Amino acid sequence: MNRAAESYVKLVLAVGQHDADYVDAFYGPAEWRSEAEAHKRPLSEIRAEAETLIATISSRPAGRDERHENDELERLRHAYLLRQLQSMVARIDFLSGKRMSFDEESKALYDAVAPTYGAPHFQRILDRLETAVPGEGTLPERVEAFRQRFVIPRDRLDAVFKAAIDECRRRTAQHIELPAGESFVVEYITNKSWGGYNWYKGGFHSLIQVNTDLPIFVDRAVDLACHEGYPGHHVYNALLEQHLVRGRGWPEFSVYPLFSPQSLIAEGTANFGIEVAFPGAERTTFERERLYSLAGLDAATADRYAEVRDLLQQLGYAGNEAARGYLDRKLSRQDAEAWLVRYALMSPERAAQRVRFIEQYRSYVINYNLGQDLVREYIEKRGGTADHPQQRWEEFAKLISSPRLPSGLR
Ligand SMILES: [Zn+2]
């Protein structure tokens, strides 16, 4: 199996030569990357080899040729490699000009289809916000004006983020044994379609980038610290490296193709990790007692902001609808932006940034909200409910250390 896995890694690197966003992380042998760079292979050739590899792996029963026949991880590995390769073929087809519907694409690339919600679904949540944020003007205007009171000033950003990251790391380390020497650096950048990004460098090290194009609200500190750092992407990648790449010698986890089922697990666990790290009211308490003063904000307003934030979060799927409509050519760019302002309550600037994200990453958007819901259901089914935080951490740690597929969460 290691030979097939090695071929898979090289194919991912080869696709990366045609698609700058495809290889999210790679920390395997450096000569594999230089080889891919030196000999750019045509997409048709990469596709044919991927198909051959799929046939080879399919013909081999899961776990049969391994020493640990009953090992669940071996079975997951087999299914994972197959599905990752099928997704690669779909991405190659996209790069070659083939277009699918939004749902077909998300199924092919991420092994999942997001539910469809119409305007009435979101309107019910908007109605509650109408009451929560009274005042003059339209609801999007009022919510934006309300949010402006919770912006972290640029010169306080780093202190606030560092405090949030420290707290997320402290909480995570109480439940998950982090690899010795794991570390990260934070960078503030501009001119990106995303708000934050974790670049995993291997050796248990990450670079976390924060985009400062738009105002950053105080709740983004915990969001980002958990999502990009602990127990999110940084921990996820570090545990895969520790347990699977180093522990088992499985080379396929030294590469991370962004447009693949792995991303639904990565984004879903990174988002769900926020409530794992801060059960119940603990997040708001921490924000109120620590972050508000660091940000120079009035701590007395923290509970009210948290209440509005929780309602706004329920509008998450509105972003999927904008993406589905836009990519399926049912909404123009302007319509998609207007939808995001009206139903996701984004400012016009944020809506424009979001549509740029949709253009760059397409159906990837489902990985955040659907991913979070699938991960929550999966962990709760195993007893990891909010009132059993210890069990929830255990199931969470298991999930981020194993190659489970989105369809395997059902
Ligand atoms: Zn993410």
The pLDDT of residue 205 is 98
Q: Identify which of 335, 397, 344, 336 has the alpha carbon closest to the alpha carbon of residue 362.
A: 336
CA 128 – CA 109 distance, rounded (Å): 35
Got the DSSP string for 278-339?
Answer: S-TTHHHHHIIIIIHHHTT--GGGHHHHHHHHHHHHTTTHHHHHHHHHHHTTSS-HHHHHHH
Q: Say yes or no: 265 and 329 in one domain.
A: yes
Q: Tokens 């509005």: give the residue.
A: 308
Q: How far is the CA of 44 from the centre of ligand 1 (A)?
A: 30
Q: Say yes or no: 318 and 276 in one domain.
A: yes
Q: Say yes or no: 94 and 124 in one domain.
A: no
Percent residues over pLDDT 90 in the chain: 96
Q: Say yes or no: 137 and 84 in one domain.
A: no
Encoded tokens for 72:
């669940």
Q: How far is the CA of 24 from the centre of ligand 1 (A)?
A: 11
Q: Say yes or no: 267 and 352 in one domain.
A: yes
Q: How far is the CA of 228 from the centre of ligand 1 (A)?
A: 6
Q: Say yes or no: 250 and 361 in one domain.
A: yes
Q: How far is the CA of 211 from the centre of ligand 1 (A)?
A: 13
Look at residue 198 and tell me if it is in a domain.
no
Q: How far is the CA of 78 from the centre of ligand 1 (A)?
A: 25
Q: How far is the CA of 80 from the centre of ligand 1 (A)?
A: 20
Percent residues over pLDDT 70 in the chain: 98
Work out how many domains the chain is built from and give that number: 2
Q: How far is the CA of 12 from the centre of ligand 1 (A)?
A: 20
Q: How far is the CA of 263 from the centre of ligand 1 (A)?
A: 8
Q: How far is the CA of 117 from the centre of ligand 1 (A)?
A: 23
Q: How far is the CA of 286 from the centre of ligand 1 (A)?
A: 22
Residue 217 three-state SS: strand
Q: How far is the CA of 325 from the centre of ligand 1 (A)?
A: 23
CA 166 – CA 405 distance, rounded (Å): 31
Look at residue 361 and tell me if it is in a domain.
yes
pLDDT tens digits, 30-69: 999 999 999 999 999 999 999 999 999 999 877 554 555 4
Mean pLDDT rounded to a whole number for the chain: 96
Average pLDDT over residues 110-137: 96
Residue 126 Cα to chain centre, angstroms: 26
pLDDT tens digits, 215-248: 999 999 999 999 999 999 999 999 999 999 999 9
CB-CB contact of 160 with 168 (8 Å): no
Q: Identify which of 22, 5, 3, 13 has the alpha carbon closest to the alpha carbon of residue 364.
A: 22
CB-CB contact of 90 with 46 (8 Å): no
Q: Say yes or no: 276 and 315 in one domain.
A: yes
Q: How far is the CA of 147 from the centre of ligand 1 (A)?
A: 23
Look at residue 174 and tell me if it is in a domain.
yes
Q: Say yes or no: 93 and 234 in one domain.
A: no
CA 309 – CA 332 distance, rounded (Å): 28
pLDDT tens digits, 60-91: 877 554 555 458 899 999 999 999 999 999 99
Look at residue 90 and tell me if it is in a domain.
yes
Q: How far is it between the farthest Cα atoms of the chain?
A: 69
Q: How far is the CA of 232 from the centre of ligand 1 (A)?
A: 8
Q: How far is the CA of 94 from the centre of ligand 1 (A)?
A: 22
pLDDT tens digits, 341-356: 999 999 999 999 999 9
Q: How far is the CA of 197 from the centre of ligand 1 (A)?
A: 6
Q: How far is the CA of 229 from the centre of ligand 1 (A)?
A: 10
Q: Is the peptide bond before 231 cis (omega within 30 degrees of 0)?
A: yes
Q: Tokens 């819901």: give the residue.
A: 373
Q: How far is the CA of 227 from the centre of ligand 1 (A)?
A: 6
Q: Which domain, by its residues, includes 78?
A: 2-98
Helix (H) or strand (E) holding 43: helix 43-58
CA 387 – CA 378 distance, rounded (Å): 16
Q: How far is the CA of 279 from the centre of ligand 1 (A)?
A: 20
Q: Say yes or no: 321 and 246 in one domain.
A: yes
Q: How far is the CA of 362 from the centre of ligand 1 (A)?
A: 15
CA dihedral 347, 348, 353, 356 (to 10 degrees): 140
Look at residue 290 and tell me if it is in a domain.
yes
Q: How far is the CA of 21 from the centre of ligand 1 (A)?
A: 14
Encoded tokens for 361:
């990453």
Look at residue 207 and tell me if it is in a domain.
no
Q: How far is the CA of 233 from the centre of ligand 1 (A)?
A: 7
Please, where are the H alpha helices in 59-156? 72-95, 102-110, 119-132, 139-148
pLDDT tens digits, 190-207: 999 999 999 999 999 999
pLDDT tens digits, 250-308: 999 999 999 999 999 999 999 999 999 999 999 999 999 999 999 999 999 999 999 99
Q: Say yes or no: 245 and 333 in one domain.
A: yes
Q: Is the pLDDT of residue 404 over 60?
A: yes
Q: How far is the CA of 138 from the centre of ligand 1 (A)?
A: 31
The pLDDT of residue 61 is 74
Burial class of residue 299, CB neighbours in 10 A (0-12, 13-18, 19+): middle
Q: Say yes or no: 123 and 93 in one domain.
A: no
